[in-house]
Amino acid sequence: MHRREFLKFSGAGMATTVLGGVGLIGWQPRAHAVTVNKTFYINQGVATMIDGTDVFFKGFSSSPGVVNVPGELITTDTGKALQEGDTVNMTIHNTLSTTHNFTIDGVVNKSIPARQSLSFSFVVNKWGSYLYYDSRNAPYNRLVGLHGGMAVMPKGSSNQLYPGSLTFVQQYCWIFSEIDPVWHDAVRQGRTPSTAYVPRYFTLNGLGGRPPGAPGAHDPNIDAITDPRSALHGHIGTRTLVRMFNVGMADQSVHAHGNHMEWLTLNGQIRPDVWKKDCLYLDGKMGRIDSIYPFEVPPDSWPLAKTSTYPMHLHTEMSQTAAGGYYMFGAMTDIYFE
């Protein structure tokens, strides 16, 4: 997965903020476990938002010279999803003057002191969709960008999320987040935010949308609607698993148009029934959902539509804006029936 440029920042001595690789996930069922090597740099930088506001971020980044928000998906060395039993050898270089940690709930929690490096290993024992994040100074370190995703397939599975699940043929990762620039600035100054939470930007895999005609519209490097890591592409029958995460504070309702989604899991637990739903309720504060977008012929279309484009958006109105007024610059993407 190539890293994509987010929003260039200018500011002496700080790194450029870029997107980490998340999105369409490849995988290859294996009879054996593998060991994966991953290196992150905890960096910080400033990105310029659509309205010209400079916002401070920290990120688990893939090289010293960039800030990745979100961090790259943790994958095998060939970029594939992990499988149960795999071992991750992690090295983290904390370039900052503050202590941070690397946490995957139920899997690993390691503290990396200021300006130090730490190597450690962990085993992924159970299929699922995981967030890695910095749980220190909660929720602020997570909110300012120290988060990313990890996909774990069950052992030997070619098409199921867990033994017996409905099947799929491709998978994506959607990480939703929110940005309150005042809170980010407090973290930059080493203070605990003391103001009410007022998110001003809403992102999917680090990007907001750009409506047709707006600067940057259709540019996959800056437009969440066309970013190939986020936009779903398929033909009729390309059943697509979407692993959704909500790093932000607000509960969200994820609405995909065209098809209902098959709702498999909520917050890491298999749901007792698979509901086919237009809107999925994604809890704030690290809510997780796995669901399948089936790429069926939309049942209400006439004539029956086999090729078309439909939106996916969140149902809180503010989440569809940026900077309190730019409509359609928020957390959304498109679904392409090709």
Q: Which residues bind Cu ion (CB under 5 A)?
A: 255
Least distance between Cu ion and beta carbon 174 (Å):
15
Please, are residues 253 and 280 in contact by the beta-carbon 8 Å criterion?
yes
Nearer to Cu ion, 120 or 327 (CB): 327
Q: Which two tokens stand for residue 82?
A: 């992990």
Nearer to Cu ion, 233 or 255 (CB): 255
What letter represents residue 119's amino acid?
S
Least distance between Cu ion and beta carbon 205 (Å):
19
State how far the Cα of 323 lies from the Cα of 284, in Å rounded to an integer.
Answer: 20
Nearest CA among 240, 216, 224 for reference residue 314: 224
Please, are residues 73 and 10 in contact by the beta-carbon 8 Å criterion?
no
Least distance between Cu ion and beta carbon 320 (Å):
10
Nearer to Cu ion, 260 or 288 (CB): 260
Nearer to Cu ion, 186 or 312 (CB): 312
In the complex, residue closest to Cu ion by CB:
255
Least distance between Cu ion and beta carbon 160 (Å):
29
Which ranges in the chain belong to alpha helices (H)? 140-143, 181-188
Least distance between Cu ion and beta carbon 257 (Å):
6
Nearer to Cu ion, 197 or 336 (CB): 336
In degrees, to the nearest 5, what angle opens at C-alpha 59 toward C-alphas 214 and 152?
95
Count CA within 13 A, CB hemisphere, residue 312: 29
